[in-house]
Structure 1
Amino acid sequence: MPKQIKLAAHFPGVNNTTVWSDPRSGSQIDFASFEHMARTAERGKFDFIFLAEGLRLREHAGKILDSDVVGRPNTTTVLAALSAVTSRLGLAGTLSSTFNEPYEVARQVSTLDHLSGGRAAWNVVTSPDAFTGQNFRRGGFLKREDRYQRAEEFLTTVRELWDSWAPDALVGDKQQGVFVREVGRFVHSGPQFDIEGEFTLPRTPQGQPIVIQAGDSDEGREFAAKSADVIFSRHGTLEDGQAFFTDVKRRLAAYGRSHEDLLIMPAATFVLGDTEEEAHEYAREIRYQQVRPATAIQFLEQVWRRDLSEYDADGPLPEVDPDPDAEPLTWGRVQLHQDNVETARKWRALAEEKKLSIRELVIEATTRQQFIGTPQQVAHTVNDYVQSDASDGFVLVPHLTPGGLDEFADKVVPHLQELGVFRTDYTGSTLREHLFSR
């Protein structure tokens, strides 16, 4: 029997993924935008909708990065509102374990799970820079290993709070208005957190909300293998996906878990056309809209850590090498390149091999997993990735907000259903049932 594909929709916000200058692109703040995408995802029988969260506006060379602003309303507030206009769609939100506290996050996510009837998910992330920390009283900066130590204990503590109520704790005399027999008493003492008290909410409809982890680093993979239900990753080819899939799944046995206990769902974009040629031409147009000349130079400056504003984006790479000792020019985004000099060497080789300009190189180097073709071709390609163990499904990132998901839901999903690899209707009411029903 073929594997059943898992699908999620990512509301991307204003950044270099979204073609935010397109007249069809809507507001990133108006609730109607969130509602539109959520209703589309539910119409398409998706597992969940996924919101990232920007804790500070990104800056480049001391100015707000207008082509890559991740600014939006509070994640849990938006998801709570979406719970009122959907009935089956899962609701996943990102909350940092670096600048929040366990009790606060446990209460927020538990509340969302109760309000939605068991559809909440928490994407656990770490925040890597002191620049973002300036928005918080605790502030500061944590090294990578320290961030993951905090994150691991953070998640353990949250789960202790969720489990502090017995399943049958909410009982009592309805006429007398007395319902609580045993409240959620908790005590946690560890290197990161030393707290005790009473949790305010009983166990949620899911027992525990779904936990998602985003990250491709070795620490992130191990964290996901130990603790997560879903890992949100990125890879660009079938072979890379299979390697990631194999590596993460093999780690599960060390924690007494099976392959089915952790779902791997990479981010992916898609472009559809009436013909394959039309789809590829449209995809090329989209990438050039996403990577404008100024955007290309800014991307290059992230690696070079030099002012390259005098260079022509349609010209060759700078002859000068990156300055590895300089301060970053971009603040507020994850630094994906740990060795800038080595990254520049690889980019030079790629540019020379394919005769690429700066802009063409940035497009080549930053393109994430893409599915391009007719709706039927895309359905078959998505299915091929899942059946060949490159993933368990995908988190789709449309290039238009909020209407970019419509085509996939209306044109690709029916082909997946015809292949017998995607649901024709929801069979459960909770997100955990969507993701893990056998």
Structure 2
Amino acid sequence: MHLAAHFPGVNNTTVWADPRSRSQIDFSSFEQLARTAERGKFDFFFLAEGLRLREHNGRVHDLDVVGRPESLTVLNALAAVTERLGLAATVNATFNEPYELARRLATLDHLSGGRAAWNVVTSSDAFTGENFRRGGYLDRADRYVRAAEFVATARELWDSWTPDGVSRPFAHEGPQFTVSGEFTVPRSPQGHPVVIQAGDSSEGREFAASAADIIFTRHGTLEAGRDFYADVKGRLAAYGREADSLKIMPGVTVVVGDNDAEAQEKAAEIRRQQVSPQNAILAAEQIWGTGLSAYDPDGPLPDIDPVPDSRITQGRVRHGDPFAIVARWRALAEAKGLSLRGTVIETTTRQSFIGSPRTVAAELTAFVDQRAADGFILVPHLTPGGLDDVVDRVVPLLQESGAFRSEYAGSTLRSHLGLPEPVWKG
């Protein structure tokens, strides 16, 4: 089993109102969570990225008001206070360039002794594009075309130094990039940093099968996980790859209690914290596409139709047909007698694994044994102490059963993941 820690910054999982929550900017928060993950022998520490502060109803989204630090800068600092933990940065392939990013990633790999990873993301969002000189955006169909050539070009740059330390000129000419010259960073300890891909579309799955070492997915149920696992692993042969060359790691949440009943009570309370009355209205406004401040969050759902193609929220993806979502919400609210807030809690929050330490350990193991995942990226609801229960109470049981390592076997992220060093292509 592979385990990773996601820093729970600006997402709906995080509960910032909890008095145990600390800053998402102070280095001490990053350091504490990373040290906890390394104490638990996790494979890597994972940072998300946001290139523009999201907006809602013309104002900066509440979860973004304190800002978003740049991932690689934070990870370079964490390299100095950790020894074995992998360090994964989310960096956008739409609004960066291969030469500059390949240098930054290779530098992190050197500074960390071979622990760097790159989570490749794309954007078709003109709102984000306004933050950049060229502005605009890529058509959705072109995002992965650019990303695939971006990754291939970065690998050409990393391979422009031989394993014995000789630099050779590089030259790449393609539809997206034309670059040539001399790369400034020698071949790094891993050869290439580990490549992660996050995406569930058919294009995303194909890109992962062709180019990624890890795919970060949102499939949290056993059945959905098994379907996704079989689909993506089944695509690897077309690229001459073995099943173990791509690790599938869903993002999950865990709630641990002394017993299963206590854990269920804790999980319900966390869901209530995640969806305050204010957050319930905000979530509903994203679906309805219009202001709903006149509605009572503890009352019934709004009795109006959603506004199609609304731009009330900027920088966040509006998932699915709003009319279909509203119809589902109304049916659920009627069937269960739910208020607006209750419906939002029911539809937008979940904990993947809930129970006593032994229950959680058994369920995590079952997912891996039944080929629904190769491991998990844990997203705690508290920063920075949200992993403590898992590391202190669940990991020892996984180690005892042989499902998870007791010690790191190597020093690089590739060694943690069981991935071979890439063959040098001179």
- Note whether the superposition's TM-score is higher than 0.5: yes
Distance 1:380 1:396 in 2: 16
Note if 1:208 corresponds to 2:192: yes
TM-score for the superposition, normalised by structure 2: 0.95
Alignment check: 8 A CA contact 2:271 2:350 kept: no
Match of 1:271 among 242, 247, 255: 255
Q: Distance in 2 between matches of 1:315 and 1:304?
A: 16
Q: Tell me if the contact between 1:267 and 1:369 (Cα under 8 Å) persists in the aligned partners.
A: no
**Deviation at residue 68 of structure 1 after TM alignment:** 5.3
Query: Would the aligned equivalents of 2:255 and 2:351 in 1 still touch at CA under 8 Å?
Result: no
Instruction: For 1:367 and 1:52, locate their aligned partners in 2 and report how far apart those are by CA, in whole Å.
Output: 19
* CA positional deviation for 1:346: 2.5
Matches within 5 A, 1:30-429: 30-67=26-63, 71-168=67-164, 170=165, 182-325=166-309, 327-335=310-318, 337-368=319-350, 370-429=352-411
**SS at 1:403 equivalent:** coil
Gaps of 5+ in 1: 171-181
Q: Give the counterpart letter for 2:326 in structure 1.
A: A
The answer to whether the 8 Å contact 1:302/1:328 transfers is no
Q: Is the 8 A contact 1:184 1:200 kept in 2?
A: no
Aligned-pair distance for 1:424? 0.3
Q: What is the CA deviation profile of residues 97-127 of structure 1, one whole-angstrom value per residue up to 9, with x for unaligned ones?
A: 0111111110110000011000000000012
Deviation of 1:69 (Å): 5.2
130-139 vs 102-111, greater mean Cα deviation: 130-139
Deviation at 1:370, TM superposition (A): 1.6
| 1:16 matched residue in structure 2 | 12
2: CA distance between counterparts of 1:157 and 1:437?
Answer: 21
Mark the CA change 1:368 to 1:127 in structure 2 (over 3 Å): closer, same or farther: farther
Equivalent-residue separation in structure 1 for 2:347 and 2:222 (angstroms)? 17
**Distance in 2 of aligned mates of 1:345 and 1:160:** 50
Answer whether contact 2:160 2:170 (CA < 8 A) is retained: yes
Counterpart code for 1:76: L
Alignment partners' CA distance in 1, 2:110 and 2:350:
35
SS at match of 1:344: helix
CA–CA separation in structure 2 for the residues paired with 1:234 and 1:352: 28
Superposition deviation, residue 218 in structure 1: 1.2
Cα pair 1:14 1:70 within 8 Å, conserved:
no
CA distance in 1, matches of 2:219, 2:377: 12
| In 2: Cα distance, 1:369 partner to 1:283 partner | 7
CA distance in 1, matches of 2:326, 2:33: 38
The CA distance in 2 between the partners of 1:32 and 1:67, in whole Å, is: 19
1:356-399 CA distance string (max 9 Å, x none):
22212222222245211111111111111111111111100111
One-letter amino acid of the structure 2 residue matched with residue 160 of structure 1: E
Question: Separation in 2 of the partners of 1:352 and 1:241?
Answer: 30
Structure-1 separation of matches of 2:64 and 2:372: 29
Task: Give me the whole-angstrom Cα distance separating, in 1, the residues matched to 2:139 and 2:333.
Answer: 33
Q: CA deviation at 1:404?
A: 0.9
Could you say what secondary structure the match of 1:213 adopts? strand
**Distance across 2 between alignment mates of 1:109 and 1:70:** 26
Aligned to 1:179: none
SS at 1:95 equivalent: strand
- Taking structure 1 as reference, are residues 353 and 251 closer, same or farther at Cα in structure 2, changes over 3 Å only? farther
The whole-number CA distance in structure 1 between the counterparts of 2:87 and 2:59 is 33
Secondary structure of 2:366's aligned partner: helix
Give the aligned residue type for 1:410. D
Task: Give CA deviations for 1:302-336 in whole Å, capped at 9, x if unaligned.
Answer: 121122221111222222221214x321111233x
What percent identity do the matched residue pairs reach? 66
What is the letter of the counterpart of residue 216 of structure 1? Answer: D
4+ residue stretches of structure 1 with deviation over 6 A? none
Q: Specify whether residues 329 and 70 from structure 1 end up closer, same or farther in structure 2 by C-alpha distance, changes over 3 A only.
A: farther
Contact kept, 8 Å, 2:245 with 2:419, in 1: the verdict is: no
What is the CA deviation profile of residues 386-420 of structure 1, one whole-angstrom value per residue up to 9, with x for unaligned ones?
11111111100111101111111111000001111
Please list the CA deviations of residues 335-369 of structure 1 after superposition, one character each: whole Å capped at 9, or x if unmatched. 3x132222222232333333322212222222245
**CA RMSD between the two structures:** 1.5
Give me the whole-angstrom Cα distance separating, in 1, the residues matched to 2:245 and 2:285. 41
How far is 1:437 from its partner?
Answer: 5.9
Which amino acid is 2:296 matched to? D
Letter of the 2:382 partner, please give it.
L
Tell me the SS of whatever aligns to 2:235: helix
CA distance in 1, matches of 2:89, 2:106: 12
Does the C-alpha gap of structure 1 residues 312 and 236 become closer, same or farther in structure 2, counting only changes over 3 Å? farther
Relative to 1, partners in 2 of residues 1:53 and 1:437: Cα closer, same or farther, differing over 3 Å? closer
Q: CA deviation at 1:70?
A: 7.9
* Deviation by residue 1:51-96 (Cα, 9 ceiling, x = unmatched): 0011111110001111455833221111011111111000001000
Q: Deviations over 1:142-174 (max 9, x none)?
A: 221111111111111111111111111x2xxxx
TM-score normalised to structure 1 length: 0.93
Deviation at 1:135, TM superposition (A): 1.1
Equivalent position of 1:177 in the other structure: none
